[in-house]
Amino acid sequence: MAASLAVILLLGLPARKIFEKLKLPGLIGMLILGVLIRPYGFNLLQEDMLKISGDLRGIALIIILLRAGFGINKDDLKKIGVTALKMSCIPGLIEGLFIAAASVYFLGFTFIQGGILGFIIAAVSPAVVVPSMLKLIGNNIGTKKGIPALILAGASIDDVFAITIFSVFLGLYAGSNVNIGIQLLNIPVSILLGIIAGIIIGFILIMIFKRYHIRSTKKVLLILGFSILLNQLESVLKTKLQIASLLGVMTIGFIIIEKLPDVGKRLSDKFNKIWILAEILLFVLVGALVDVNVALKAGRVGIIIILIGLAGRSIGVIISLAGTEYNWRERLFCTIAYLPKATVQAAMGAVPLSLGVESGDIILAIAVLSILITAPLGAIGIHYSAEKLLVEKN
C-alpha cells in the first residue's frame, strides 16, 4: 500500500501541474491519471490501496466540505436559503425522470429500471463542484450575490435527494412494500438531522477550544475526527435512520467560523494546506474506479441518455432560479456548475448489478460513462465561464 501511495503522490502532483499549464482544471489530470494506473490500465495500484479507497475518498471529501463550511457566512445563507433548497431537489428530480423516460424509449427498460438508472446519474458531484466553488470564493468571484455558496449548499443536499429516490425505485424493483410517502419524508428529516448533528458537534468543539489551550494543528485533528465519526454514524444508522452527514460536516465549519471567527480563520488556513494531499487522493482514486471498457459498452445510446438527463437538469436549474435576482449570465453559470458527476456514480453504479437488477451491466456502463463525460465537461465549464459570467461588466 505504501508503494501505491507513493505512485499516487509522485504522479498526481505533475499530472495536476501539466493540466494547469494547459489552462485546464488540475483535477482532470488527476482523474485521467487514476484511470491510467487502475488495475485495468497500467495496474500500478496495489489491492490493499483499492480496498481502503472508499475510506480515503470519504476523508478527502470531508476535508473539502469542512473547508466549504468555513467559507460560508450567515449573510450568504440568508440570501440563498429558499433558492438553495429548490436547487437541491428540482434539478435532480427532473434529470432523474428525464433519464427514466429516455431509458424506456431507447433501452426498452421498465420505468422502474429507468428510475434506478436515472437517480444514480442524477446526483451532482460535491467532489468536483465544491473545490471549484471554494476557489471562486477565494478569488471573490460571484460572492456579491452568494452564487458559490448557493451551489455549495445545493450540491451538498442534492446527493441526499437522489440517493433516497434511487432507494425507492430499487425497493419497488425488488417488490418490497416501499412506502413512497415515508421515504420522501425522510429527505427533509435527513437534512434536519444532519444540520442538528453538525450544530451539536460544532458547539462541543467550541466549548473544548474555549476551555483548553490547544494548538491549531490539534484543533484540526479534533474537528476531522468528529467529522469522520459523524459520517460513519450515517453508515451505521442508514437502514433505520438517514442523516445528511455531509451537510452536517459543512455545518461544523460554519458554526466554528461564526462563533470563533479568529480561530475559524486559522483553522480554515490549516484545512487549505491539508487539502493539497486530500485533493490528489480524492481525484486519483475516483479516476481509479472508472473502467473505460465498461463505459464503452454504453455506446452512443448511453451518451444520448446522459445528454437528455443534462438537458432535464438544466431545465430544473432554470426553474429553481426563476423569480430570483440573478441575471441570465449568472443563471447560465449555475447551470454549468451543476453538470459534473463522479462521487455517487462511482459508489452506486455497480449496486443494481450486485443486487441482480436486470440490465444492471448497462446501468453500470452508463454510470461510468456519465463520469467520463460530465466531470471534465463541468470542471472545464466552471473554470472558463466563471470570470466571463460572474464578473460584473463595467
What b-and-e string marks burial along 173-193, b requiring 16 or more CB atoms within 10 Å of the CB?
beeeebeeeeeeebbeebbeb
Name residues whose C-beta falls within 8 Å of residue 182's C-beta, 6 or more positions apart in sequence. none
pLDDT at 158 over 90: no
Hey, what's the cell of 133?
466553488
For the four alpha carbons of 27, 28, 33 and 34, in that order, the dihedral sign comes to positive
pLDDT at 239: 55
pLDDT at 176: 61
pTM to 2 decimals? Answer: 0.82
Average pLDDT, the chain: 87
Report the pLDDT averaged over residues 167-186. 72
- Domain boundary assignment for the chain: 57-390
Largest CA distance in the chain: 64
Ranges assigned E (strand) in the chain: none
Residue scoring higher pLDDT (329 or 61): 329
Q: How many CB atoms sit inside 10 A of residue 325's CB? A: 9
Q: Which phi and psi angles does 324 have, rounded to 5°?
A: -90, 175
Distance CA 20, CA 289 (A): 23
pLDDT band, very low/low/confident/very high, at 382 (cuts 50, 70, 90): very high
Distance CA 321, CA 156 (A): 17
pLDDT band, very low/low/confident/very high, at 183 (cuts 50, 70, 90): low
Residue scoring higher pLDDT (184 or 284): 284
Report the pLDDT averaged over residues 33-40. 84
Distance CA 96, CA 193 (A): 25
pLDDT band, very low/low/confident/very high, at 9 (cuts 50, 70, 90): very high
- Long-range contacts of range 273-279, CB-CB < 8 Å, 24 or more positions apart? 274/63, 274/220, 275/63, 275/64, 275/67, 275/131, 277/9, 278/59, 278/60, 278/63, 278/64, 279/16, 279/27, 279/30, 279/60, 279/64, 279/131
Burial, 261: exposed, middle or buried (Cβ in 10 Å; 0-12, 13-18, 19+)? exposed
- Backbone region of residue 212 per phi and psi (left: phi > 0; alpha: psi in -120 to 50; beta: other values): beta
- Backbone region of residue 299 per phi and psi (left: phi > 0; alpha: psi in -120 to 50; beta: other values): left
Residue with cell 487539502: 275
Q: Does domain 57-390 have CATH number 1.10.3720.10?
A: no
- Identify whether the C-beta of residue 108 lies closer than 8 Å to the C-beta of residue 131: no
